[in-house]
Amino acid sequence: MNLSLELMLQLSIIVPLSATLAIVATGHIPNLREGVTITSCLILIYLMVNLYQGLSLGATIRVFWWELLPGLTVSFDIEPLGMLFALIASFLWLVTSCYAIGYMRCHQEKNQTRFYSCFAIAIGAAVGLAFAANLFTLFIFYELLTLSTYPLVTHAGTENAKKAGRTYLGILLSTSIVFFLLAIVSTWFVAGTLDFKLGGIFSADVDKIIAGTLLVLFIFGIGKAAIMPFHRWLPAAMIAPTPVSALLHAVAVVKAGVFSILKICVFIFGLDLLSVLPTTQFLLYLAGASVLLASLVAMKQDNLKARLAYSTVSQLGYITIGALLATSSGIIGSSMHIAMHAFGKITLFFCAGAILVSLDKSKISEMRGIGRQMPLTMFAFFIASLSIIGVPPTGGTWSKWFLMMATIETEQWLLMVVLMLSSLINIAYLLPLPFHAFFPDLSSNRESNKKANKKANKYSKKATSSANILTAIPIQEAPLPSLIAIVITTLACLALFIYPQPLFELASAVLSSRE
């Protein structure tokens, strides 16, 4: 096939969106429906790889769709940061679809057609957001992403799910309408344009107070970045099926948030302006507080997914800090952390889902000793935890390294301490789980295990096997497609330690890309 890069760019947005129609049309034949999903995943990856190659050859890839109002256009322009995000999102879509097929069938979820179709829209929105050439286009896809993930959050349709959906939509829509839109209109008004431009679009003599206020509006308005106090939606969204939490609430949606922040910092404000704004320091501390508090809250959570959610809130804070530090290593660190955290966190969520499906357990206190039943899963969990913490030999090392460097360069010692402290807390809340899974302290926990198993017996026959924790412990891993997904993302975590060059190149190209 010999498609032009521009066409490929458009296709990469259209393919997932039109996949939705195909998924709805084939909804009554599950195998065909999943086939459609996988096929469109593969097409999307093919497009992404081609686009990546084109971009690294220095091609300019721009597409203009239409002009909504004079000067307000829907257009796309690929730059390295967007490429990075789009690559991750589309690659992980494939992996997650694979995982989801195993998970959804094994868990006998209802409304699977709605699930897959909304999923496809969400990915299309994420790609569109990644390639947006101006704030307005970004905003359109940002809202589309919110709306398309809402049915996924309320998937179960229970009263709890609906309540969570209300929180989710309430916070995301409100912040985006009240703060984000206001910031966009004001930017339009102050700068006269919304196009992303390296070095910012504000003129040099812009009022610092106004620009500073706009920055606050942007950071608050992008609720998807889950900066406290607008983070409540993320734990609430954990009521969704695990693949949703994995891809959307560890990768696509939250990364769309921090991606937007990065993009706005670099391409709307510009690093020079950013470093002199009066509000930057305040926002940095806010993000720091978000990092630390979320880590602390995560420690208290017994529900595995909730713990992971708060961990995400904390890690998103890292990226925001990196963006606001306004140095090149900060931007590189943030961009790389988008990728590293994505792979790490998605693996963790996959593992949480696998445990739920195979053993019907969602509470951490019930998970002692499960390493014998799910050795592979728990090992993957261990590796991914290392990546989140930022210890070799995992990819997370690099991004945290750069972020640390950035705090040192700008002499933000307090933030450096915050980041280090948070990493320590990461160890405290992530590692005990695999540790206890493999080395359960049996004497003290037999009692609780029995209790837990009695409860589990009621629901699931599978759990009976875990009652005989001392005698016979059959291996009971997740369904094969899910397991494959876990292995792939775990290997990626490791591979990114050894071979981070492509990511590093993309991340460092963000600041040196053409005007």
Residue 10 near another protein by CB under 8 A = no
Whether the bond between 393 and the residue before it is cis, its omega within 30 degrees of 0, is yes
Which residues, listed in sequence order, are joined to residue 63 by a DSSP beta bridge? 76
| Residue 121: other Cβ atoms inside 10 A | 21
C-alpha neighbours within 13 Å on the C-beta side of residue 347: 32
Which of 146/387 has CB closer to another protein? 146
Among 157, 278, 392, 393, binds another protein (CB under 8 A): 157
**What is the distance between the terminal CA atoms of the chain, rounded to a whole angstrom?**
31
Shortest Cβ 155–another protein spacing (Å)? 9
Q: How many CB atoms lie within 10 A of CB 411?
A: 9
Question: Minimum CB separation from another protein for residue 478, in Å?
Answer: 28
Out of 11, 14, 38, 161, which residue is the one contacting another protein (CB under 8 A)? 161
Contact status: 185 vs another protein (CB under 8 A) = yes
Complex with another protein: residue 114 or 446, whichever CB lies closer? 114
The contact pattern for another protein, residues 52-71, with x = CB under 8 A and - = no contact, is --------------x-xx--
Site for another protein contains 216 (CB under 8 A): no
Phi-psi map region of 390: left, alpha, beta (phi>0 left; psi -120 to 50 alpha): left
Helices (H) and strands (E) in the chain, counts: 23, 2
Closest CA to 314 of 240, 377, 390: 390
Q: In angstroms, give the least distance from the CB of 72 to another protein.
A: 8
Q: Out of 11, 59, 178, 511, point to the residue binding another protein (CB under 8 A).
A: 178
Return the number of the residue (120 or 194) whose C-beta is nearest another protein: 194
Window 71-100: contact mask with another protein (x via CB under 8 A): -x----------------------------
Q: Does 166 bind another protein (CB under 8 A)?
A: yes
Q: What is the dihedral of CA 102, 103, 106, 112, to 10 degrees?
A: -100
**Smaller CB distance to another protein: residue 164 or 503?**
164
* Site membership for another protein, residue 28 (CB under 8 A): no
Which residues from 119-148 bind another protein, rule CB under 8 A? 136, 139-140, 143, 147
CB 158 to another protein: min, Å = 9
Environment class of residue 43 by beta-carbon count within 10 Å: exposed (0-12), middle (13-18) or buried (19+)? middle
Helix, strand, coil fractions of the chain, as percent rounded to 5: 75, 5, 20
| Best CA proximity match to 258, nearest among 342, 338, 332 | 338
Coil vs helix vs strand at 70: coil
Question: Which of residues 54, 124, 151, 369 is near another protein by CB under 8 A?
Answer: 151
Contacts of 454 (CB under 8 A, 6+ apart): none
The CA distance from 4 to 9, in Å, is 9
User: Taking CB under 8 A as the rule, does residue 372 contact another protein?
Assistant: no
186 in contact with another protein (CB under 8 A): yes
Binding positions for another protein, rule: CB under 8 A: 66, 68-69, 72, 136, 139-140, 143, 147, 151, 154, 157, 161-162, 165-166, 169-170, 173-174, 177-178, 181-182, 185-186, 188-189
